[in-house]
A and B are shown apart, each in its own frame.
Chain A
């Protein structure tokens, strides 16, 4: 673990894996640190930003010294089920790459339990880990200029759902009617880091 300064009121904790990111995020979230404004997990880091003068920043390092990064986090996560129409334009490509057929892809994608490792790229876009090995596939060589909102996709070790229309290079396997992000809704984002997610096939 390495702690990096990030201005006078924040620090970036750098670790070696997504599991360690999860351990650090969960520990800092549970510690009820005074003045904590932002707690932002990413692929190999957790950013903790505090209100100036709150004294919270000084409490982070002693706390991190007590964390066992090898321990899986035991918390009561929120569980989210996302219904999916598996009819994405890259489904055949994904099946071929995985050495299976379309039903096989659906079985693999719905059979796994996922966890939101972090969010980014766009509001409400969660990077979900837990993808079966056969579905860990490269991005498209030519990213699409427009991916429809609700598109369910895979790339590398992640799966996710596009909350809004945007360009995108992930392989599209399906779509959901669920709204991933609505800034007028409470809560605005369907998925937050730490949530457990399952996908369910809609026929």
Chain B
């Protein structure tokens, strides 16, 4: 049987694909890989459709044994990769013979590495996706030592690709479109442009919590309750204490605190890799 056996998981290893968008009206979050370009690259490198399921690791530490010949690729931040004790490297296809053990180290920067494997991880789909959603519990459980992951039918690897490891800067300047509830805040453009934040260790796949400048509501919206309304990935929700949360793929489908702005989707991969302490500023755009 084509399969991988999990030997070690690191802090958290999850099966992820491109998620299950289109179900928010049922209360189902989109989920899926947080750093989608990295998962797509890993899949291309091993000859899969970009939408195939791979493994998202948090701070590396994953180790798997191939139960049959297969091709794997590790993407995301630069990380050490070895095959049965031999250094193999990230960001290119690596062949595993039956019995070979793939070991991923801890990245020096960034958070999430992606393992693509030829044929993709072939666990049953739930609502059209194999992704693990940590908010609602939909999808497979987080990986555990001893899990056996079945693999699908392999395709043909491509020869050439864009393989630069994801950049993981310590300073992020993120473009923001103000709204839908910018009018709840005093001078929202200035507040959002002049504030300074850091990524909180409380962050997870649901959202990146920020600590730093508290955003002030205007007088007429002090202590006003907002009826819950639909949320998009990338929404900057402001809690009553004034601190923002940027919602990621496992975000709740509706929320009852005002959203001051929505970040450009191009910034989501860098947020997926932002460690606690990374500095965040926003740049309002039209």
**Residues of chain A at the chain B interface (Cβ within 8 Å):** 4-12, 14, 37-47, 49, 52, 118-125, 164, 181, 183-184, 188-189, 192-193
Contacts and interface: CB of A to CB of B under 8 A. Distances in A.
B262 A10 contact: yes
Contact of A38 (B22, B124, B179, B180): B22
B24 interface: yes
B229 A44 contact: yes
- B23, B124, B137: which has the most chain A beta carbons within 10 Å? B23
Interface string B122-135: 00101100000000
- B21, B181, B254: which has the most chain A beta carbons within 10 Å? B254
A125 B137 CA distance: 15
A130 B21 CA distance: 30
Given A7-B179, A40-B254, A125-B27, 13 more contacts: A7-B235, A7-B263, A8-B177, A8-B262, A11-B180, A12-B229, A40-B253, A45-B229, A49-B24, A118-B25, A120-B27, A123-B27, A123-B136
B84 interface: no
Contacts of A189: 26-28
A183 B29 CA distance: 12
A125 B254 CA distance: 12
Nearest to A52: B265
Nearest to B236: A7
Interface in B117-170: 124, 126-127, 136-139
Give the contact-size bracket for chain B.
35 or more
Interface of B: 21-28, 124, 126-127, 136-139, 177-181, 227-232, 234-235, 252-254, 259, 262-265
B127 A183 contact: yes
Contact of B28 (A4, A7, A123): A123
A-B pairs, 3 with minimum CB distance: A47-B230, A7-B262, A40-B230
A124 B24 CA distance: 10
B229 A183 contact: no
A42 B136 contact: no
A6 B26 contact: no
